[in-house]
Amino acid sequence: MMDRAWVVWTLVLIQCLCGAYFLWEILASILGIPSVPLRWNVRELVEAGASIGLILGAFLGVRLALVAQKATHRAETARRITSGEFTTVVEAYFEKLGLTVAEAEIAWLVLKGMSMAEIADLRQTRIGTAKAQCTAIYKKAGVSGKSQLISQLVEDLLF
């Protein structure tokens, strides 16, 4: 991480120096002050440095905006969870997965740690029906079992 910061600050410094040179040239022209003459090959390097700095600055700006947007989403989700809106957040997650009402009810029971037999008994269905509904939930979530569903839920909500 420290190596990246050094590279970024070096690029910023080069961009600032190139920009300062061009600003000095403009002010010298307007105010009639003698400018700093550079050989054509050095001037080309300064222009290339400024151009590269602008392009990298644009890409870095977009990347930082995306990172900030993701961090804002995580912070908002964490705020909602800690402010007592956990149920709302989880229901929105189930809705995003496209779960039916029955599947969402079963998913809640799975999250509570109930076994297939307990779920079937509570819903007054057969164990095979509960297993089939759980399989449909796992398929929609892209996981293979209860622990992966819980893991994915936590990861999606917090990260």
Assess if residue 27 is contained within a domain: yes
Assess if residue 132 is contained within a domain: yes
Q: In this model, does residue 25 exceed pLDDT 60?
A: yes
Q: In this model, does residue 158 exceed pLDDT 70?
A: no
Higher pLDDT: 136 or 84? It is 136
Mean pLDDT, the chain, whole residue set: 84
Torsion of CA 83, 88, 94, 100, to 10 degrees: 160
Check: pTM over 0.75? Answer yes or no.
no
Assess if residue 80 is contained within a domain: no
Nearest-CA neighbor of 158 among 91, 74, 87, 47?
74
- In which domain, by residue range, is 10 found? 2-69
Assess if residue 42 is contained within a domain: yes
Is residue 63 domain-shared with residue 101, that is, in the same domain?
A: no
Q: How far apart are CA 140 and CA 100, in angstroms?
A: 11
State the pLDDT at residue 159: 63
Question: Where is average pLDDT lowest: 65-69, 81-85, 112-116, 145-149?
Answer: 81-85
Q: Domain count for the chain, please give it.
A: 2
Please give the average per-residue pLDDT across 89-100, as a whole number: 88
Assess if residue 56 is contained within a domain: yes
Is residue 99 domain-shared with residue 65, that is, in the same domain?
A: no
Do 109 and 119 touch, CB atoms closer than 8 A?
Answer: yes
User: Which residue in the block uniquely carries the two structure tokens 């403009």?
Assistant: 26
Assess if residue 17 is contained within a domain: yes
